[in-house]
Structure formats: C-alpha cells, structure tokens
Structure 1
C-alpha cells in the first residue's frame, strides 16, 4: 500500500475520522459566522426535554432494534446499554466515543442523539485536484458516479498537508471511506 494511503488508512480507522472533520467544519463555520440557520425548530419541545436515556431507547425502538442488536452494532456491552437507557437522572456519563458508536449504530448524528441544535453551512465551492477529477471521470465511466457529498468530503480531506496524487490513490481512499462508514451501519 503506498505510504500516503497507509497514513490515510490509519487516520480513517479511528472512529472519529469523518465525524470529527465535519464537526471541525461546523465549529469553524459557527465561529466564523458563515452558518445560515440554527435548526432547533425541527426538534419538538418534548424531544428537547427528553433525557439521553429516553432518546436512546426511543431511537432504538423506532429502528426496531433489541438491546442486544444495538449493543452489538455499537460494540458496547448489552449491560452498559441497558444502564444507559435506564439512566433517566443523567448520572452516567458515556464517553464521546461510546456516544458516536451508538449514534452510528442508530444511523443518526451525535447532534440528533443529544438533541442539540444544528446549523446549516453555506454551500462552498471546493477545488478538485486534477487527480481527483480523473478519479471522478473513472467512476462515471464505471457507472458509479460520486455524489456531491462524496466529492466534497474527498476534496476537503488532507492528512499532514497532503492528498492522494493519482486517481488510483483516490480510489483506494474512497474504498476505505466507504468500507469504514458501512461497518457502523451493518
């Protein structure tokens, strides 16, 4: 595996890689004033008043998952998940990693799991490198075009100041991203 992809692979393997980058972008947008709106109106007042325990249980039941299934998907013990769901007074303080794994297993965001207000960031123009354009063209030719979100995420990825230099390296990075995000949804 080329050295740059090994570095990308190590970076992506962490449970925070993609979510952390989006969170950094969100924080930067909020502090720079480039966000457009705060979306707390989409949350009903009853959802805002719910404890984390109630929200986890509600989302789990909406997805039709048993405690055991969610615990397995989130890679936490069934007992710990049960304790979190029974913790209506908020005495349990799960780590950010555990919360992220639960949110991913429920196919939701940390903001939704925590009933936090969200912001919508203005669309920004992203520059595509020649090698990323070549990869995009290859994917179209294979009848598997990249989504605008995929392109934006790939184009904004930098690790130690670098990006893949060839269409093949972009393809390997893309496969790592796809595989790492599907693991949490399986």
Structure 2
C-alpha cells in the first residue's frame, strides 16, 4: 500500500511540474510597435542578445519559440541589430528559402560566395516590406548554413513569421 501511495504521489507531482510546459502567450515587447491607422508594424530584431542557443537567437528566442503575427496588407519595418560576436543576417523566407516578400531581408543569392555577407557585430541594417500573402513563414538567418545547403536547419536561429487574414499584430512566445 505504501508503494502505491508513493507511486501515485509521484504521478501527481509530475503532472503539476509539467503543467507549464509547452505553453504560449502573447507578449508586448518594447521592440514591437504597431500603428493600426497606417497599418504599419515596427520590429527591432537583435541577433545574439544573450546566451540562448549559443547566442544564435533573435531577441533571445530561437528554434521557433517566437511567432510574429501580422495581418495581411500591413507594412513591416525591420531594424536589425547584430549584438553577437559573428556576422548574422535575417530575412522572412518561404518553405524553399526564397524571400517571402520583395524586400523582406537578405536573399540567398546575395549571400552565396560573398565574404562580406551579413551584418557584422555592432552593426545594423533596415528594410521594409508589405506582408502581402497569408501564410506561415520563417524569420531566420540563412547565412549560418549558406555554405552547405544540405543542412536542414541553421543552428536554431529561426522563429515564425505568420501573416494572418485579419486580427491584430502581435508577438507570441513559447516556453518549450
């Protein structure tokens, strides 16, 4: 009987400990601002801000832990800052690593065989695009895998960029 009590107690405690795993929540970060009147979103994305994922992160998020939701038709203005120790870059890409929208960051062709590709540590760049097509895209740094296109991931330096049919621009983060 004692074993059964201990076993059931362990299951209950495990359930309580796991309750917070895999949850998501909308957040209001200082680096994200919205002007609904002009349908404009301003994003300041910083690469390598902290030690998350070995400094290969965007604003401290990696491996799809962050989702930026933007309604279709909004203009997105990105200010990209490299706070890391190596060159990083960013773009919003479709499932075949092509820019999802004209002007949505660095194209793969601009990085191939380009020793000066990327944003160097301490530097920044700005770009702007219109989120013109509903869909699920990836905001990522393809520079980390440009030398070997067979790598399926870029060391985790990616997050989601979803264009929605309506709704409110927002940032959603996951703790998993």
Q: TM-score, with normalisation over the residues of structure 2?
A: 0.25
Higher helix share: 1
| TM-score calculated relative to the size of structure 1 | 0.24
Higher strand share: 2
